[in-house]
Amino acid sequence: MEEKYYHIEDEKKEKNCHHRKFSFKKKMKIYKKIKLKNIKIFKYFILYYQLNKLNYPRIKIIIKKKQIKLSTLRNKIKRKIYENFRINQFKIKKMDFIFNINNSITKISKKLLNKYINKIWKI
């Protein structure tokens, strides 16, 4: 009876060690105003980035209401970027990223947006 119990526990441990949680935790967002040293200008957004001393990457997305009027569009863009960040969080260097979005981003497709964002994580 005891052997079966240990056997089940071993299986649980094996399953847990192979799976990472791809959750987006609150600590991965940047809430304070910070100045980052490095700047890259893309066609659809400006990226500020810098290495951090934490063991995980962080992100902040800035979309001004003057640039994109509809809140649904602003939220959709944020969701896409956060989702991509969440999926790639273990591949990304331990850096802080701040995206400043332009209004021209509304004209691109999902695939193109993901392509741009995936390039960023390789910095």
Q: Which CATH number do you get for residue 81?
A: 3.30.230.10
Asked if residue 68 belongs to a domain, the reply is: yes
How far apart CA 72 and CA 46 sit, in angstroms, is 21
- Provide the CA 40 distance to its chain's centre, in angstroms: 17
Which structural domain range is residue 33 located in?
24-121
Asked if residue 73 belongs to a domain, the reply is: yes
What contacts 24+ positions apart, CB below 8 Å, involve 33-38?
A: 34/96, 34/98, 36/96, 36/98
Asked if residue 40 belongs to a domain, the reply is: yes
Number of structural domains (the chain) is 1
Asked if residue 3 belongs to a domain, the reply is: no
The pLDDT of residue 15 is 46
How far apart CA 120 and CA 106 sit, in angstroms, is 19
The pLDDT of residue 20 is 60
Asked if residue 46 belongs to a domain, the reply is: yes
Kindly report the pTM of this predicted structure: 0.72
Asked if residue 59 belongs to a domain, the reply is: yes
Residue spans of the chain under pLDDT 70: 1-27, 31
Asked if residue 112 belongs to a domain, the reply is: yes
How far apart CA 78 and CA 66 sit, in angstroms, is 16
